[in-house]
Amino acid sequence: MVTERGDRQLGLGSVGNELTIPGLWAIRHGQSTANVAFASTPTAPVPGRDLDVELSALGRAQADAVGAWLASLGPARRPGLVVTSPYARARQTWARMARVDAAVSTHPPIPVVVDERLRDREMGVFELCPPAVIAARDPAEAARRETLGDWWYRPPGGESMPDVVLRVGVFLTALDRVVAGRYPVLIVAHDGVIAAIRQVLDGEPGEVVAPVANASISRWDRGESGLRLTDWASAQHLTEQEL
């Protein structure tokens, strides 16, 4: 159930008070080849499936940098579980992180699980289509997206961001049952998923939060009143060349 647009969703924002996970990191995958293509304003869809989009050369370097950050964490702060999106760019990000962590630290490997609920927002018939392509193909749909706002827009066969929030909320509740308060968790996923996590935990409308950059780290720590956001989309672990 949703209140007026821009208001908090009923029942969200209190979830962070109820979860027993000691801490949560959410990392966006490194720059992907689709990110590069979208930035160049192409006039055609990116070829292939969104599921298969891989990291760019910069994205691979960013993933290595996040791996070095992970290796620097002390034993008490290290996650006891990693959960990643099934999409190639997220799985590749974690694989490179794990490789760097193993190379420069003496910590044991962290168990990893792939969860379908952390997949990127599904764009349906407009999968891997930049906005300019959507406008050229279907001006009426582009106008509808503009009118509703991207957060609320559901493309034909795809998802609105509230749809993503719902599945992410189900995921976090299930994750909490598995973890049972025993260890922090690290998630590797997508900007929309991380914005959805923030709405579920904090009640913060995702359409107004700051963007989630590639390879950035967001963090929730447990305090007296539950999980609370302590860092949003931090890129301090990246060099100027890796941004």
> Residue 134: is its pLDDT beyond 60?
yes
Look over the chain and give the mean of its residue pLDDT values, rounded to a whole number.
93
Which amino acid is present at 231?
D
| Parallel, antiparallel or unpaired: strands 185-189 and 23-28 | parallel
User: What confidence tens digit (pLDDT) does each residue in 189-207 have?
Assistant: 999 999 999 999 999 877 8
* Rounded mean pLDDT, 139-165: 97
Count CA atoms closer than 13 A to 210's CA, side-chain side: 10
- The per-residue DSSP string of 125-175 comes to GGTT--HHHHHHH-HHHHHHHHHH-TTT---TTS--HHHHHHHHHHHHHHH
77/224: higher pLDDT: 77
For 204-240, what is each residue's pLDDT tens digit? Answer: 877 888 999 999 999 999 988 889 999 999 999 999 9
The DSSP secondary structure of 70-106, one letter per residue, reads HHHS-TTTS-SEEEE-SSHHHHHHHHHHHHHHHHH--
Kindly state the percentage of the chain with pLDDT values over 70. 94
Please give the pLDDT value at position 11.
52
Strand 226-234 versus strand 81-84 pairing type = unpaired
CA–CA gap between residue 27 and residue 33 (Å, rounded) = 18
What pLDDT is attached to residue 14? 66
DSSP 8-state class, residue 127: T
Dist CA 20 CA 173 (whole Å): 10
Q: How far apart are CA 136 and CA 41, in angstroms?
A: 13
Does the domain at 15-237 match CATH 3.40.50.1240? Answer given as: yes
Query: How much is the pLDDT for 4?
Result: 38
Does residue 20 register a pLDDT over 60?
A: yes
Cβ pair 202, 19 in contact under 8 A: no
